[in-house]
Structure 1
Amino acid sequence: MAETLYITHPLEAWKPALAALTWAIDGLVVKPEDPVAAANLRIDATGPGPDAVESALGSALPVEPNTWTATPQGQIIWLGPDEWLVTDRFARPHELEDSLGKVVGAHGGAAVDVSAQRTSIRLSGKLARELLSFGCSIDLRPAAFPTGSCAQTTVGQAGVLILALGNGDDFRLFVRPSFAGYLADWLIDAAEEFRPAA
Structure 2
Amino acid sequence: MADTALISPLAHAAGRLAAATRGSGGAIRLAELPFLTQLNVRFDAKGPAAEAIGLALGLQLPLQPNTVVRAGELTAVWLGPDEWLLVDRPGGERELESRIREAAGAEPVSVTDVSAQRTTLLVTGPRAVDLLAHGCALDLHPRAFGPGRCAQTTLGRTQVVLVARDEPRAGFWVLVRSSFAGYLADWLLDAATEYI
Give the TM bin, normalised by the shorter chain.
Answer: over 0.9
Equivalent residue for 1:86?
A: 86
SS in 1 for 2:165: strand
Equivalent residue for 1:19?
A: 18
Matches of 2:179 and 2:28, distance apart in 1: 24
Deviation of the 1:96 alpha carbon: 2.3
Deviation of the 1:91 alpha carbon: 4.5
Deviation of the 1:107 alpha carbon: 2.1
User: In structure 1, what residue type is equivalent to 2:136?
Assistant: C
Equivalent residue for 1:190?
A: 191
The answer to whether the 8 A contact 1:32-1:121 is kept is yes
User: In structure 1, what residue type is equivalent to 2:109?
Assistant: G
1:72 aligns with 2:97: no
Matches of 2:84 and 2:147, distance apart in 1: 18
Deviation of the 1:37 alpha carbon: 1.4
1:62 aligns with 2:88: no
Deviation of the 1:74 alpha carbon: 1.5
1:177 aligns with 2:178: yes
Structure 1: runs of 5 or more not aligned: none
Moved more, 141-150 or 90-99: 90-99
User: In structure 2, what residue type is equivalent to 1:49?
Assistant: A
Matches of 2:180 and 2:170, distance apart in 1: 23
Deviation of the 1:193 alpha carbon: 1.7
User: In structure 1, what residue type is equivalent to 2:106?
Assistant: A
1:162 aligns with 2:162: yes
Query: Aligned ranges for residues 131-142 of structure 1 at < 5 Å?
Result: 131-142=131-142
Matches of 1:31 and 1:119, distance apart in 2: 11
Percentage identity across paired residues of the two chains: 41
Deviation of the 1:169 alpha carbon: 6.2
Matches of 2:8 and 2:91, distance apart in 1: 18
Deviation of the 1:141 alpha carbon: 0.2
Residues 140-177 of structure 1: CA deviation (Å, up to 9, x unaligned): 00000010000000110111100001436610000000
Aligned CA distance change for structure 1 residues 6 and 90 (closer, same or farther; 3 Å): closer
1:120 aligns with 2:120: yes
Equivalent residue for 1:47?
A: 47
Deviation of the 1:50 alpha carbon: 1.7
Task: Give the TM-score of the pair, scaled to structure 2.
Answer: 0.93
Task: Give the TM-score of the pair, scaled to structure 1.
Answer: 0.93
Equivalent residue for 1:6?
A: 5
CA RMSD of aligned residues (A): 1.4
Matches of 2:175 and 2:57, distance apart in 1: 21
Deviation of the 1:178 alpha carbon: 0.3
Matches of 1:182 and 1:101, distance apart in 2: 36
Moved more, 96-105 or 145-154: 96-105
Deviation of the 1:93 alpha carbon: 2.1
